[in-house]
Amino acid sequence: MPARRTYRAPARNGCFECRNRRIKCPNEHPQCSHCTSDNIICQYLSSSTSLVWPRVKSRSTTPTIPPSRTASPAHLNPRVFAEYRVVMDPVAPPSPAGELNIQDLELMMQWCTTTYRSVSRNSSVEGIWQGVVPREAMRHPFLMHGILALSALDLGFNSPPGPPKDYYTRTAQTHQSRAVTGLSKVAGKLDRSNCNAAFALSSIMVVFSFAFPRTTDKRGDALGELLEIFRFTRGSVDVQGGIIEWVAAGEFSPLLEYDNSQPTMPDTSRLAIMSLSRLNTNLASDDPAHEKDTYDTTIRYLSYSLDKLARGGETMIIAFQWIFQIPPRYMELLRERQPFALAILAHYAVIIHSLRGHWWMGEWGARLIREIGQLLGADWRDSISWVVDATGCYIPPV
């Protein structure tokens, strides 16, 4: 009868992988030879605690990957792994090994239970923002920072003035900065593997830009703030144009589709667009210096946006795409407070006014319409009559 094989219990201080496989661990640090040969991450239980679940300390900083855990497993995309290190390491000091970051967990819980709803049209796309976007964020740290930034701002917006509100606002700014920095590192290397993450972050960052003045209560004139939002988003997260076809063909496609089951605004916008186009032609006939081509392009993209809105498209995506589509010269005409440029912007304000039910938008649209109405003289009031009818906003007489 063959000798019975003697069972050898794994060493108590062996690595997790050897203990799970019930084999003797050579206890080589930082990486045992078994894990090295199998190309897997080697982790040891800290000698300072006998608990597998680590102790938690408050106010810890965002953890980075400890040096002993940097062996990339075979199933992990090396480019994604490297991207994580590039984004996270320079900006976050390491926290003690094995500790949880309660602040980041709080922000992720806020996203998964509350904040995601504020960027969703309805239940048909809520699942994407609640589940698919966080899953993408696990592979793309710049998107994770974007999620945490908006969640922190949401908490800050709903906090009374005081230290908690200030803390959440600072935290939101930190994550927002890291998100934009991370996206800038991959902006020139966008492909089908990261297009969804880039698209989601660009939308989240525009929401952040609208929400921040409302959270900090540092609001000035609506037009000036909106131009600053345009400048920031176009200069830092302008990635939608080159990837929209990839996004439309993938898991995020419902965000770009129409929802005919929802109430839509009356399709009178075509008459408004026709009126703007006629006025543009007349102005060009009266003044050879009138920049008709720039205005034609801007009106055409506005027509696309209003048409999508009337057909039940995702309002937030519609509103944000126009920001990236308008010609740079039109931005300059707005800064110069050119009347026709302002009249066109008032029509765009109808779109953002339709988002007023979201905490991050509020009365942005109404503020903008009233301000433009005050800037335009009596001769230009007829050019925004449709805007007033569509929104019900009151503009005091000049």
Question: What residue ranges define each of the domains in the chain, with the CATH number in brackets?
Answer: 9-40 (4.10.240), 102-254 (no CATH), 268-391 (no CATH)
Task: Identify any residues that bridge with 15 across adjacent strands, giving them in sequence order.
Answer: 44
Instruction: Give pLDDT tens digits for 290-334.
Output: 999 999 999 999 998 888 777 766 777 878 888 888 999 999 999
Question: In angstroms, rounded to a whole number, what is the distance separating the alpha carbons of residues 334 and 299?
Answer: 14
Taking the CA atoms of 145, 321, 354 and 293 in sequence, report the sign of the dihedral they define. positive
CB 147 within 8 A of CB 132: no
Q: How many residues does the chain have?
A: 398
- The average pLDDT across 239-243 equals 66
Residue 9, pLDDT > 60, answer no
Tell me 3's DSSP state. P
Q: Whole-number mean pLDDT of the chain?
A: 79
Handedness of CA 285, 333, 239, 114 (dihedral sign): negative
- pLDDT beyond 90 at 46: no
Task: Indicate the SS3 state at residue 313.
Answer: strand
* Residue located via tokens 């993209």: 301
Cα distances from 71 to residues 37, 44, 57, 76, 153, in angstroms, run 11, 14, 27, 10, 35
Distance, in Å, from the CA atom of 256 to the CA atom of 136, rounded to the nearest integer, reads: 18
| Span 144-185, pLDDT tens digits | 999 999 999 999 999 999 999 999 999 999 999 999 999 888
Phi, psi for 337 (deg, rounded to 5): 60, 40
Cα–Cα distance, 350 to 306 (Å, whole number): 9
